[in-house]
Amino acid sequence: MSTDIETAAIGEDGDDAARRSIGARRNPASQEAILDAAEALLRENGIAGFSIEAVARRARAGKPTIYRWWPHRTALMLDVYKRFKNAKDFPDTGSLRGDLLSFLENHLLGFWSGSLCGTVYRAVVAEAQTDSAAAELLLAYQHGRKTHAVRIVDRAKARGEVPENTDAALIIDLVVSYAWHQLLLGQLEAAMGKAPNVVDTILRGIDGYQG
């Protein structure tokens, strides 16, 4: 018997629509219902009480449907996280220092501090240490984020703040690495006060920085 989510996809095309909803192509309504259920469970029960089985019950979806779209719970947790993260645009303050400081304070430390986002992302990072599939997923996500974040440095190059040969990816890595360290240690609030010094230290290491 089809679940409510799967049955909702059956319209004039009957079984064909149902197959699409539970196959490789995600049905948007079903996807959002599952992500809503996953988010609710994470808020209510935390990481320890989170599982594909629990999400399936909450969303009234079949486990095979969820496993087709999210092969393990880390993938599902990361997609819950992305719903919040993707809503935030990268800063454009007009200066490299301002952009990096906003990136560190608002997109990393402040975004994670005292929120479900920090709890979920820390769990994803932790699971990636022992699960190769989770590690691959996290690496792909980080690559995509970095592709956008390096634009912060590219804008600085265009303004003449830093030389054209400045390693933009390395600068972003340094900022993110500091934030990750504080996230994993549970020191996010204390780290906020050190953010300006962290950014200034990184900038002093850039040959030819005009700030």
Q: Indicate the domain borders of the chain.
A: 4-70, 84-204
Considering the four listed CATH numbers 3.40.50.2000, 1.10.287.610, 3.40.50.10420, 1.10.10.60, the one that applies to the domain covering 4-70 is 1.10.10.60
Find where tokens 């780290």 sit.
191
pLDDT digits (tens, 9 = 90+) for 150-166: 999 999 999 999 999 99
Q: Is 76 helix (H, G, I), strand (E, B) or coil?
A: helix
pLDDT digits (tens, 9 = 90+) for 52-74: 999 999 999 999 999 999 999 99
**170: which 2 tokens?**
């390395």
Q: What is the mean pLDDT of the chain?
A: 87
How many whole angstroms separate alpha carbon 133 and alpha carbon 172? 24
The predicted pLDDT at position 48 comes to 92
Residue 44: pLDDT over 60: yes
Query: Residue 69 region, left (φ>0) first, then alpha (ψ -120 to 50), else beta?
Result: alpha
The predicted pLDDT at position 89 comes to 74
pLDDT digits (tens, 9 = 90+) for 156-208: 999 999 999 999 999 999 999 999 999 999 999 999 999 999 999 999 999 99
- Per the CB < 8 A criterion, the answer to whether 148 and 90 are in contact is yes
**Which carries the bigger pLDDT value, residue 101 or residue 18?**
101
**176: which 2 tokens?**
């993110």
The predicted pLDDT at position 25 comes to 64
This prediction's pTM: 0.81
Radius of gyration of the chain (CA): 20
Superfamily of domain 84-204: Tetracycline Repressor, domain 2 (1.10.357.10)
